[in-house]
Amino acid sequence: METMGTKIIGEVIPFPGAESDDIQQIAMDTCAVKSQQIIMKEFGVDIPESVLANESAAKGYYMPGAGSDPAQVGRLLNDYGIATHTMEGANVYDLVNELAQGHKVIVGVDADELWRPSFFNDLFGEAANHALVVTGIDTTNPDDVKVLVTDPGNGDVIKSYDIEQFMDAWHDSNCMMVATNQAPPAIYAPSMINFDYGLGHLPMIGDIPFEQFQTEICPEMNTFFEHTIADPVLQPQDIADIYDQMHDAFSEWQSTDDFHSLLYDGI
């Protein structure tokens, strides 16, 4: 999606006319159920959250008072014919790859690092405790890339976070991501007016054709990351620094025509 000088990978709203009451979860621990319900609605499946919560509890996906099993997030979507795949140890390039294909994405985060960020949370609060929907990445300003989310925890239809803050929160779930295998049908997703259903993806990511991004850049970044963090002497802070380098490279790439110089020389 690109309009009026804005460069957003993904979409800015989950569905037309969405209001806070449509997004707010009904219980303290139903964030994953609600996130799946939001996505189901984009696929034309409109079922009340309370019904889905009861169904999830009966199937063992969700335990009232304790929340959803992270390993089961996505199963509710699957049960209604919406195929998904799950990644752990994902990164911003994986996120862009999914959003550029119109896929809908749920991530696990440490909500405290989004809602109440503090130095002490970084030191003592390393735990994922929330699920939300990532709707897009705003690269309009390469020096200030934003991640756009729909958050059932506080009813935010759309909220933007600095990419560094989002990644800190996402990292606490080991960057867990559940994405749909397909984009929602156009008839149920009129907000995706700029998405080319014929191609099945955005034609360009920045100045790079999508096919090159998917077949070259994503695998290269994943290989770099996997090989780097495999070093047994690395400490948690070292891995966090590597994440930061990758995200800095992503931001820099938005303002350059030569991504490969950043990939091989910049990080």
My answer on whether 98 and 220 are in the same domain is no
My answer on whether 182 and 208 are in the same domain is no
pLDDT values of the chain reduced to their tens digit, one per residue, 267 residues: 444 444 777 777 777 788 999 999 999 999 999 999 999 999 999 999 999 999 999 999 999 999 999 999 999 999 999 999 999 988 888 898 899 899 999 999 999 999 976 443 444 446 789 999 999 988 878 778 889 999 999 999 999 999 889 988 998 998 999 999 999 987 666 666 556 667 677 766 666 777 777 777 677 666 666 655 555 555 555 555 655 665 555 655 555 444 433 333 332
My answer on whether 110 and 227 are in the same domain is no
pLDDT at 231: 58
Is the residue at 199 inside a domain? no
Q: And the tokens for 21?
A: 């009451």
- Interior CA angle at 75 toward 72 and 79, to 5°? 160
My answer on whether 157 and 58 are in the same domain is yes
Is the residue at 169 inside a domain? yes
Is the residue at 85 inside a domain? yes
In the chain, how many H helices and how many E strands? 12, 12
How far apart (Å, rounded) are the C-alpha atoms in residues 165 and 160? 10
Name the 3-class secondary structure at 111. helix
pLDDT at 265: 34
Q: And the tokens for 243?
A: 């994440």
Report which of 234, 250, 90 is spatially closest to residue 175, judged by C-alpha positions: 90
Q: And the tokens for 39?
A: 């996505």
My answer on whether 83 and 159 are in the same domain is yes
pLDDT at 180: 98
My answer on whether 137 and 88 are in the same domain is yes
- Contact partners, residue 71, CB within 8 Å, separation at least 6: none
Is the residue at 196 inside a domain? no
Is the residue at 250 inside a domain? yes
222: amino acid identity, one letter: N
Which of 128, 155, 188 terminates a domain? The answer is 188
Is the residue at 141 inside a domain? yes
Is the residue at 158 inside a domain? yes
pLDDT at 92: 85
Q: Are 137 and 12 within 8 A, CB to CB?
A: no
Q: Tell me the sheet residues that pair with 136.
A: 10, 148
Which of 164, 188, 212 terminates a domain? The answer is 188
Number of structural domains in the chain: 2
CATH number at residue 77: 3.90.70.10
Give the H or E element holding residue 58.
helix 49-59
pLDDT at 119: 40
pLDDT at 267: 27
My answer on whether 171 and 119 are in the same domain is yes
My answer on whether 129 and 17 are in the same domain is yes
Q: Are 104 and 184 within 8 A, CB to CB?
A: yes
Backbone angles phi, psi at 134, to 5 degrees: -90, 120
pLDDT at 258: 42
Domain containing 139 equals: 2-188
| pTM as predicted | 0.79
Name the 3-class secondary structure at 76. helix
- Contact partners, residue 195, CB within 8 Å, separation at least 6: 1, 11, 102, 183, 186, 189, 202
My answer on whether 229 and 177 are in the same domain is no
Q: Residues in the chain, how many?
A: 267
User: Exposed, middle or buried by CB within 10 Å (0-12, 13-18, 19+), for 35?
Assistant: buried
Name the 3-class secondary structure at 112. helix
My answer on whether 253 and 143 are in the same domain is no
Query: Could you report the per-residue pLDDT of 217-243, keeping only the tens digit for each?
Result: 677 666 666 655 555 555 555 555 655
My answer on whether 119 and 183 are in the same domain is yes
My answer on whether 154 and 214 are in the same domain is no
Q: Are 53 and 33 within 8 A, CB to CB?
A: yes
Is the residue at 15 inside a domain? yes
Report which of 175, 118, 180 is spatially closest to residue 147, judged by C-alpha positions: 175
pLDDT at 5: 46
Which of 145, 162, 188 terminates a domain? The answer is 188
Query: Could you report the per-residue pLDDT of 86-129, keeping only the tens digit for each?
Result: 999 888 888 988 998 999 999 999 999 999 764 434 444 467 89
